[in-house]
Amino acid sequence: MKLSARNQFQGQVKSIKLGNVMAEVVVDIGGGHEVVSAITRGSAEHLGLTQGATVTVVIKATEVILAKD
């Protein structure tokens, strides 16, 4: 699948916390970095997400904030 979003990171699902409506998915993208995604429970189930599964994190944002000390 080709996407226009350039910020794509492959990683492994570290954990999934399923709520009644939403799911919190933590993805280890390597180098000690994690991305946390809040998606619907239905989407998590539809994707068949499980701990250890390989996924691609796609970030498409209109605003990105940088900070520097």
Q: How many CB atoms lie within 10 A of CB 7?
A: 10
Q: What integer is the mean pLDDT of 7-36? A: 97
Q: Is 58:39 a contact under the CB 8 Å cutoff?
A: no
- Given a cut of 90, whether residue 35 has pLDDT beyond it is yes
Q: How many CB atoms lie within 10 A of CB 47?
A: 14
- Given a cut of 90, whether residue 11 has pLDDT beyond it is yes
| Domains defined along the chain, listed by start | 7-59 (2.40.50.100)
Residue closest to 43 by CA, chosen among 29, 60, 55, 35: 55
- Given a cut of 90, whether residue 61 has pLDDT beyond it is no
pTM value is: 0.88
What pLDDT sits at residue 62? 84
What pLDDT sits at residue 64? 86
- Average pLDDT over the chain, rounded to whole? 95
